[in-house]
Amino acid sequence: MLPLSKPVNGTIPVQALLYDKESLYAEQDGVGIYNGQQKSDEHQNGTVYVSSHRLFYIDALKPHRHSFELDLSCVTRTEYYAGLFTSSSKITLFLSQDIDDDLATSEEQSWTCEVCDYKNPPSLVPGTSKVCALCGVPRSSSETVLHRSSSMPTSSPVASLATAEGGSTTEIACSACTFLNHSSMHVCEICGTVLPHTRHPDISMKSAPSSRPVSPYPGGEALVKLSFRKGGDKQFYTLLKRSLQGKAWESAGILQTVETSAQGQASGMKDALKDIDALMIKARDMVQLAADLNERLTAATAERSSSLSSSSNTEPESATFIRSSLAQLGLQMENTPVTQDMVKDERRWIDELARELARVLQGGNGGLMASRGIIALDEVWGGWNRARGVALIPPSTLLQIIPQLAAHTRPPVTSRVLSSGLTVLHTPPFSHAAFSARLLVLLDSVGPQNALAIARSEGVTIGLVTEMILAVEADGAIARDDSNTSISGSSGGLGGSEIRWWPNMLRDYVWDGCP
């Protein structure tokens, strides 16, 4: 067996041997294996596969006996030989000298994290069995010792030899609860704490079982060579280097959990959006049905009222039931939002939307601009869509409606783009000229003011009034007094960072060039 390799059943497709988070990158047939500098007689004709975590060799003659896998986490560096004359191209894999004893036993068993109490499955991802898949905390050494001790056979040679020679046992005191445990116990019988090891000086322990693979170079560096006899070495080496540089076996713990959560949230969001789309389609059908019912009821009521029958003033019970049902569902048709399927002409549809938006902005006491003369366009778009329910209006359609809005509003509402790019809707008192004149009158009568005082006098938010003041400053009508630019250089203190606005007294002066 090659160093650090593990036997696999080559009769099983490689795709079935992959882990959940493992991806297959490339494969190449006609490959032989070198164990160090010597050919491995059992691995001279097979197919090699490289994945994000492992390297597979599937023998062509005896796949069930001579196939193996090699964790890429054991590879420290690689070399490439292009071949010469009759010598085939080769890829050399230099393997780590530090063979992890705990990895050989811990990857075959599940273990419970001491921090988050998560039970990690066996060999979830190569190289991650020592790290919790949920919280990313490394596996404690006591947990590894516990699994290794539990995996040992009951009648070990050491135990039988100690029993045969001595016959007397020494008790081991637990470091946590001080209970005296039998010498054959590895964990405390009371609290489950791992007991300290007891050494038998008269017993010589073997370093490893005879079946464990050993490097053929005790004093050198373990290596494995892949000999490509049918070509394909360059493409395979490129993908192998990509897999080694990616180090997918280190992507575990909290990062893996965050990625899984993000994927779950994205999938849930897609499903939710699909549900919303389906709901909007059904809602449109309900609105259309309600409109049809309302038209039929209105026509029937008009015909009944025009007749001379005695029951003309009494609405049928069925009509009353239908109207009450529509009211309970919130489908009263007095303020039904206009949709494109209701109006065939696009120009008329834009005009109807402008009428509807005018009602939203100035419709009684509940309008968005009932108590203010300027409003940001994004606030208008959000408030209008809330009022429309499921018949949402995209921003592109709103931009088409704005030029038609002045014809349906009293006072007329127009749009304006501020210096920051913010678009606002405003009435005539909040146009640029009207605000400039009003601001100059305020500064002449009261004196210099800051943005907060101006916003309070205008009844506008500080953000909006600051944008409007900057537009007036750009015209040269006012000047700023910024204490941060004072010669004293002290920007702190009372009002140190405050900007006050003054009327520009120097605007009408003409400099004659003389000092």
Q: What pLDDT score does 306 carry?
A: 64
- State which of 212, 247, 282 marks the end of a domain: 247
Distance CA 137, CA 78 (A): 31
Within-domain flag for 158: no
> Does some domain include residue 67?
yes
Range of the domain at 9: 5-97+221-247
Together in a domain, 241 and 352: no
Residue 443 lies in a domain: yes
* Per-residue pLDDT, 381: 93
Domain co-membership, 390 together with 242: no
Share of the chain above pLDDT 90, in %: 29
Distance CA 132, CA 103 (A): 14
pLDDT score for 96: 84
Q: Specify whether the CB–CB gap between 58 and 49 falls below 8 A.
A: yes
Kindly state whether residues 230 and 372 are assigned to the same domain: no
Q: How far apart are CA 515 and CA 499, in angstroms?
A: 29
Query: Considering its fold, how many domains does the chain have in total?
Result: 2
Q: How many C-beta atoms surround the C-beta of residue 131 within 10 A?
A: 20
Residues 381-439 have pLDDT tens digits of 999 988 887 778 899 999 999 999 999 999 999 999 998 999 999 999 999 999 999 99
Q: Which of 247, 282, 316 is the endpoint of a domain?
A: 247
**Shared-domain flag, residues 361 and 234:** no
- Rounded mean pLDDT of the chain? 77
Could you read off the pLDDT of 307-342 as tens digits, one per residue? 644 444 555 666 666 666 665 565 555 555 666 656
Q: Is the residue at 19 inside a domain?
A: yes
Which of 417, 471, 477, 467 lies closest to 442 in space, CA to CA? 477
At 175-225, the pLDDT tens digits run: 888 888 888 888 888 888 888 865 544 444 444 444 444 444 444 578 999
Position 193 scores a pLDDT of 84
**Which residue do the tokens 């036993």 mark?**
105
Alpha-carbon span 56 to 27, nearest angstrom: 9
Same-domain check for residues 350 and 481: yes
Check which CATH number belongs to the domain holding 481 and give it. Answer: 1.10.10.10
d(CA 93, CA 198): 40
Same domain, 92 and 232: yes
Say if 401 falls within a structural domain: yes
Q: Does position 348 have pLDDT exceeding 80, yes or no?
A: yes
User: Could you tell me the CATH number of the domain that includes residue 84?
Assistant: 2.30.29.30
Q: Is 232 left (phi over 0), alpha (psi -120 to 50) or beta?
A: left
At 384, is the secondary structure helix, strand, or coil? Answer: helix
Return the residue matching tokens 């921003």.
395
Higher pLDDT, 376 or 137: 376
Distance CA 154, CA 160 (A): 10
453 pLDDT tier (thresholds 50, 70, 90) = very high
Rounded CA-CA distance 100/352 in Å is: 76
Q: Are residues 89 and 225 in the same domain?
A: yes
Whether 366 is in a domain gets the answer yes
